[in-house]
Structure formats: structure tokens, C-alpha cells
């Protein structure tokens, strides 16, 4: 199975964390918060769409809300396959970080 890219990983994690409120704008805000840089909406739509196509995310329309001009939200949810993919990338990272001396952090 293909590994997740960094942005896919972040997005999946953000969706997971946001739980029931996981739609485009909060996801974007979350990412801005975590990474400290400005994510564009387009930069979120593309991976979201890709992840959904791959079956790692699923989405549903919420009730319409007045603050969005009466339009629906598309709420995302992690699928088991998405969780699996996250676990996989986590393991890969752990393995890679293994053996990197603690000293490194001391240097900075």
C-alpha cells in the first residue's frame, strides 16, 4: 500500500481530532494552527477528494446552517482504512526515528 504524503497525514489527523466538526474550514484552521503556516482552501480540497476516493475518508452533508448562507457542510470522517493508513505511517516514522541519538535535540 502506498504511504500517505505529509499533507495527507496532517489532514487525516486533523479530521480525526476534529471529530464531528471535521469540515473544510475547521480543518484548514487546525492545520494553520499546527504547522504555523497559511493553508489555502484549494490545498485542502484536493487531498480531501483524493483521500475520499481512496476510501480513507468518507463524507456526508450536514444540515444547512444560516451562517453559511444556508448552505450545507461536507463533514468528513475517518474510515477504518484511513486509520490503518495512519497507523502504518506512524510505524514507519517510528522505525525511521529509531536510533537517532537524543543528542540531536540537545544540539539545537
Partner 1 sequence: MNNRPPKLAEKILGKLLYDDVWKTTLGDFEEYYFYLVEKEGKKIATKWYWQQVLKYAPSKIIHKIYWSIGMFKNYIKVAFRTLRKQKSYSFINIFGLAIGLSCFVLIGLFIQYELSYDTFHEYSDRTYRVISENPGNSYLGLDGSSVTPVPMAATMKQDYPEVEYASYFGNSKSLLINGEHSFLESGVAADGDFFNIFSYQWYKGNAETALTDPNSIILTSTLATKLFGDENPIGQSIDQVYSNGNSITKTITGVIADPPEYSHFDFQYVVNNQSSPYYEYNVKVWSNTGVYTFLTLREGVSAQSFSEKLSDFADTYILTSRYYKSNPDKSPIHALQSLEDIHLKSSQLNYNPFAPSDIKFVYMFAIIAVIILLIACVNYMNLSTARSLTRAKEVGVRKAIGAIRSNLMMQFISEAIVISLLSVLVATLIIVGFLPIFSDLVDRELTPHIFLSWGFWGFIIATSFLVGILSGSYPAFFMSKLKPALILKSQVKGGRGNTFFRNSLVVVQFTITIVLVISSIVVLQQLDYIRTTDTGLERDQIISISSTDPELWDSYKTLEQELLKNPSIESISTAQHQPTAVTSRTTLTEWDELDIEKELQIYISPVGFNFIELFGIEIIAGRSFSEELYNENSADFLLNEAALKELGWTAQEAIGKPFKAWGNEGTIVGVVKDFNFLSLYQDIAPLTLMLNPINNQRYVLAKLSSGDMEETIASIQTIFKEFSPTFPFSYSFLDDNYTNLYASDLRLGKIFNYFTLLALIIACLGLFGLATFVTQQRTKEIGIRKVLGATLFQIIALLNKDFLKLVGISFLIATPIGWYLAQNWLEDFAFKISISPLVFFAAGSITFGIALLTISYKSLKTANANPIDSLQSE
Interface residues toward partner 1, by CB under 8 A: 23-25, 28-29, 41-42, 45, 49, 61, 65, 67-69, 71-74
CB of 93 to partner 1, least distance (A): 31
To the nearest 10°, the Cα dihedral for 51, 58, 55, 52? -30
- The cell numbers describing 74, all together, are 461536507
Rounded Cα gap, residues 54 and 50, in angstroms: 6
Cell numbers for 30: 487546525
Amino acid at each position: 500500500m502506498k504511504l500517505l504524503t505529509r499533507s495527507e497525514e496532517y489532514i487525516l489527523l486533523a479530521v480525526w481530532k476534529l471529530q464531528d466538526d471535521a469540515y473544510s474550514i475547521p480543518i484548514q484552521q487546525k492545520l494553520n494552527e499546527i504547522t504555523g503556516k497559511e493553508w489555502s482552501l484549494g490545498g485542502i480540497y484536493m487531498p480531501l477528494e483524493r483521500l475520499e476516493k481512496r476510501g480513507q475518508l468518507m463524507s456526508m452533508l450536514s444540515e444547512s446552517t444560516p451562517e453559511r448562507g444556508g448552505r450545507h457542510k461536507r463533514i468528513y470522517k475517518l474510515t477504518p482504512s484511513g486509520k490503518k493508513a495512519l497507523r502504518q505511517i506512524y510505524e514507519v516514522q517510528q522505525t525511521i526515528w529509531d536510533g537517532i541519538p537524543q543528542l540531536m535535540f540537545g544540539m539545537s
